[in-house]
Structure 1
Amino acid sequence: MFHKEQSTRITKLITEKEFYKNLTPYLNCIDYTVSNESYEVMQNVTYDMLVTSPVPDNLDKYYLSENYISHTDSKNSLFDKIYQLVKNYTLKKKLKLINSFNTEEKSILDVGAGTGDFLKVCKKGGWKITGVEPSEKAREYANSKKIILQKDIAQIQSKKFDVITLWHVLEHIPNLMEYVQQLKKLLKPNGILIIAVPNYKSYDANYYKEYWAAFDVPRHLWHFSKTSISKIFSLVEMEVKKTLPMKFDSFYVSLLSEKYKNKKSKPFSAFFTGLKSNMKAKRSGEYSSLIYILKNK
Structure 2
Amino acid sequence: MRPIIDPADVDDAGLVVRTDYSSDVAWRTVAALLDAQQDDDGWVYHVVDDPAWAGASVDEVLTAAPKSDGVVYVADAATMRDPYPLLAVNTTTREDCEDDEEYDYQMQCGREFRVLPSGLVDVSANLAIANMDFPEFAAMAQADPHGFYRGSATAQAEDAPEPTPWDGWVPCDGHLLRRGQTLRDACITSPNGRYALSCFDGLMCLTRDGVGIWMPVGQGSGTGIELGPEGELRYRAATGGTWPLIPDFGHLAGRRKRWPENERGGPGPAVGAHALAVRDDGDIDLVDEDGRTMWSFGTAHHVRLLDDLHAMAITRPTDALDE
Higher relative contact order (CA 8 A, sep 6+): 1
**Structure with the higher fraction of residues in helix conformation:** 1
**Larger Rg: 1 or 2?**
2
TM range (shorter): under 0.3
TM-score of the two chains, using structure 2 as the length reference? 0.26
